[in-house]
Amino acid sequence: MSPAATATQRLALRGDLLDFSAAPALDATSMHGVRWRADHWLLIENGRIISAQPAAQMPDPSWQRIDHSGRLILPGFIDTHVHSAQLDVIGSYGTELLDWLNTYTFPAERAWADAELARSGSARFLDALLAHGTTAAVVFPTSHKTSVDALFGAAAERGMRMIAGKVLMDRNAPDGLRDDVELAERDCRDLIARWHGSGRNSYAVTVRFAPTSTPRQLAMAGALCASDPTLYMQTHVAENRAEVAWVAELFPAARSYLDVYEDAGLLHRRSVLAHGIWLDDADRARLQSAQAQIAFCPSSNLFLGSGLFDWQRSADAGVAVSLASDVGGGTSLSMQRTMADAYKVQAMAGRRLSAWAMLHAATRGAATALQLEHEIGSFDAGRAADVCVWDWGVGEVAQRRIAAARELHERVFCWITLSDERCLVAAYVAGVKQG
């Protein structure tokens, strides 16, 4: 091995460090759980966070020092529900969920059977995530094996933390997207063997939603989960009222939509269920006891007219909630925009969501719910250095408003509501600068 390959890589980033040591309450503006270290050096060695120290304590010249003083440094965002093959249908006009799927989304996903298109599309998708400050994600590719190989391959090239899997759909979907139980199981087993635990990739058994899988396919998916408790599971649940009514018709014996998944063995501590707007108290109790999480997708829920998710109710029931863009139902990959929409959805219910609660959900909270707290989501020593550097404001309106903030919560709240990817200065994945 050459000396260069074995040399310690030392990187020190200077700026205002903000991360979390614990979960703040949803409406708490106090500093409980908030770790604010104004003008500090963040020390990164061989891609991992070592420590932080005040700016006056300058690291010695063995460190590559990058001075971002006056800028905000955050853990990379974690988007817990997003579709790699839907960038080209983002912002599609005039439909609710079921028509939106048939009109825009299924036709776009069909094209991903092509390996070259899946490869270039996955690269574009991950570069777009990084350009929005998102360094880890839970992703739906398509039902084609090619789309999963392409995504995991592109994530490995960038060193990104990725959770994904082949989308299961053996009914109520067009030709070119439908699989069958045997073929799907073979594909899943092959993909799990190739990608699960390879580098920073993890496999998620990926049921699109109950209407597009037969009971036999759901049972197969549940058996896969049972065969390896380190596998994730992702799906959609109770997003739209017409969808909920359709599930009741398709599964007349089920007590609820969520019950369909529970019956199939799909609810566990590594389950990520997108939306969950139309769940009831019994469902929330089931989610809590399974330790499954809801990925709240406010921009998608508003754009598709799906409904207003009640975060407080889930929190009261002890259900973990993370934040997600759900692009292409969602209208932006920006987690600041996602947070701003989450705030507005809660405001419609007369509730307040603090900047701390939102930022925590998009970083350490998501990591904890995904059982990845030891790896990502904070600046704790030993975490992978997935780190983003942000300007406090782009444009005069934002800059003046943020400068006028009287205290830190106000400043960070204004940053969330007035910023987006234009504020990103640099994204590091495991200590390596991207782009």
Q: 209 touches which of ligand GUN, Zn ion, none (CB within 5 to 8 A by kind)?
A: ligand GUN
What lies within 8 Å, CB to CB, of 288 at 6+ separation is: 317, 318, 319
CB of 138 within 8 A of CB of 164?
yes
3-state secondary structure 143-166: CCHHHHHHHHHHHHHHCCEEEECC
Other C-beta atoms closer than 10 Å to the C-beta of 410 total 15
Task: Check residue 109 for interaction with Zn ion (CB under 5 A).
Answer: no
Q: Where in 329-358 is the site for ligand GUN (CB under 6 A)?
A: 329
The CB-nearest residue to ligand GUN is: 329
3-state helix/strand/coil string of 338-381: HHHHHHHHHHHCCCCCCHHHHHHHCCHHHHHHCCCCCCCCCCCC
Smaller CB distance to ligand GUN: residue 73 or 295? 295
CA 299 to each of CA 10, 306, 324, 332, 343: distance values in angstroms, whole numbers, following the listed order: 39, 10, 9, 8, 11
Q: Which is nearer to ligand GUN, 11 or 324 (CB)?
A: 324
Residue 208 lies near ligand GUN (rule: CB under 6 A): yes
Using CB under 6 A, pick the residue from 89, 101, 130, 162 that binds ligand GUN: 101
CB 362 within 8 A of CB 386: no
Q: Kindly state whether residue 326 participates in binding Zn ion, applying the rule CB under 5 A.
A: yes
Q: Is 209 in the site for ligand GUN (CB under 6 A)?
A: yes
Question: Judged by CB under 6 A, which of 83, 364, 383, 409 binds ligand GUN?
Answer: 83
Q: Does 110 bind ligand GUN (CB under 6 A)?
A: no
Contact 138, 184 (CB under 8 A): no
Q: Which of residues 257-286 bind Zn ion (CB under 5 A)?
A: 274
DSSP code for 384: B
User: If binding means CB under 6 A, how many residues of this protein chain bind ligand GUN?
Assistant: 11
Contact pattern from residue 5 through residue 44 relative to ligand GUN, giving x for each residue in contact according to CB under 6 A and a dash for the rest: ----------------------------------------
Q: Which region among 22-30, 54-62, 97-105, 253-261 touches ligand GUN (by CB under 6 A)? A: 97-105
Q: Which is nearer to ligand GUN, 105 or 256 (CB)?
A: 105
Pairing relation of β-strands 201-207 and 161-164?
parallel
Residues that bind ligand GUN (CB under 6 A): 83, 97, 101, 105, 208-209, 236, 239, 300, 326, 329
Question: What is the contact surface with Zn ion in residues (CB under 5 A)?
Answer: 274, 326
